[in-house]
Structure 1
């Protein structure tokens, strides 16, 4: 049984329902959505063996969180999740040197990634359902940490990424024993003209920081998408109680 279905919090609204993909077609639908967003919309250099689907070596190891439009049955949001113990190698290992992370962290760490939402459904409802599903997956499976790469596009010359980096080094820096090192670092070439702003962050990274995640060092330059990727880590024991109660459906 999916851990999402064990929560008293409804994994749905009147328009959308959240679940873990349990059929091949649902997984393929998530991969088609990723191809549409990352390949067609973002112009990313995807190396997939299947036309029209974003597929890599990690997909078969992952659980695929999906948000489905109840009116059409279309998958309009997705996140893929790798629980601890399923693979010694993480997707994040392709971008960061994670060898310094303590074993007690890695052994209880869910990796999340490849998050995207259909362009016609980028409302608060879909994003909130994805966040609630992600949090329930981690909390109800008994794991402690959530980790992943949060991307900031560099199309603006690096201003948004420099803003994120400054927030990460001043307000959300991870403890030294939880720092990681990018394999191909992105280095800002300009300084900010104003104080760093949360409003300038992409929704995914802003959501991580809102619930208490750390930013674990310098970003990786993802040349496939021309993004700066930040490794973020959330210790759920540090999660704001208000968010924990919301995600788990406990009394307010």
Structure 2
């Protein structure tokens, strides 16, 4: 076990920190209430724009915020937040307390597992949604997820706007139905939702959102059933990922970049 941890340290912690220092972004963990409120304001702006909703108190906040660890990616020059996510460690018997359990039947299916990290509220500023910011965010999360939390499994939800975006939501749902066996999981929604066939669509509506694509490239498994989150005006799909497989993917990616 010690040898494996040392290998992860060599492959993740130092190289990523060194690379991030010269990049356009800087990564940090939120340590105080002021930082959390800044992140909540960032989430509010992104989700209001992305899902076309208004928050009741004018701020995206919930009870989970006070028990999670929060990570942000900042623009190196302006210092503004450009990407965000939050993490919480669960044991299988605690999954009833997770955010994902509100929408998906995970407690019985995954209750036998240990060291499960739920990732949530992930959002990226529109100008940084090409995928690079998400990759940098993930690279910097891994040392904590693997070394500190000793996570074995990652779970969460990935979303797409529904009202005002019916065509893209429909085609994204069809893509989830057509996932190959290795890319889908059998987790069921608490209440499954089927988006209707759109009255009209454009060619670009057939592209799935970037975050869906990122998860699939990381060899995550996505649910085929969707849950309709009325408060957020979106369809949610459950995401499951083996941390060991994630680590192998990023080690390989790092080696490929070093040899390029």
For the criterion TM > 0.5, the same-fold answer is yes
* Number of residue equivalences: 243
Give distance in 2, aligned partners of 1:212 and 1:139: 17
Q: CA deviation at 1:67?
A: 0.5
Within a 5 Å distance, the mapping from 1:108-147 to structure 2 comes to: 108-140=115-147, 141-147=149-155
Which of residues 45, 70, 78 is equivalent to 1:72?
78
Q: Given the two structures, how large is their TM-score scaled by the length of structure 2?
A: 0.77
* Cα deviation, residue 44, structure 1: 2.2
User: C-alpha offsets along residues 163-215 of structure 1, whole Å, 9 cap, x if unaligned?
Assistant: 33333333345799x63222332213239xxxxx9971111111111111111
- TM-score for both structures, normalised by structure 1: 0.79
- Residue 212 of structure 1, aligned match among 219, 222, 232: 219
Native 8 Å contact 2:85 2:120 kept in 1: yes
Residue equivalent to 2:5 = none
Q: Distance in 2 between matches of 1:175 and 1:15?
A: 32
Contact 1:154 1:227 in 2 (8 A): yes
- Aligned residue for 1:71, secondary structure, equals coil
In structure 2, stretches of 5+ residues that fail to align are 1-8, 199-203
SS in 2 for 1:97: coil
Q: Deviations over 1:55-103 (max 9, x none)?
A: 1010001111100122222222100111225965111122222222232
- 1:169-188 aligned at under 5 Å gives the runs 169-173=177-181, 179-188=186-195
Q: For 1:1-252, what aligned pairs fall within 5 Å after superposition?
A: 6-10=13-17, 11-39=20-48, 42-48=51-57, 51=58, 53-85=59-91, 88=95, 89-105=97-113, 107-140=114-147, 141-155=149-163, 158-173=166-181, 179-190=186-197, 200-239=207-246, 241-246=248-253
Q: Following the alignment from structure 2 to structure 1, what is the Cα–Cα distance between the partners of residues 50 and 234? A: 14
* Structure (1 or 2) with the greater helix fraction: 2
CA RMSD of superposed structures (Å): 3.6
Deviations 1:30-65 (A, max 9, x none): 1110011113553324344xx4x3110100011111
Identify unmatched segments of 5+ residues in structure 1.
192-196
Counterparts of 2:120 and 2:242, CA distance in 1 = 17
Structure 1 residues 220, 46: CA separation in 2 closer, same or farther (over 3 Å shift)?
A: same
Following the alignment from structure 2 to structure 1, what is the Cα–Cα distance between the partners of residues 111 and 257? 31
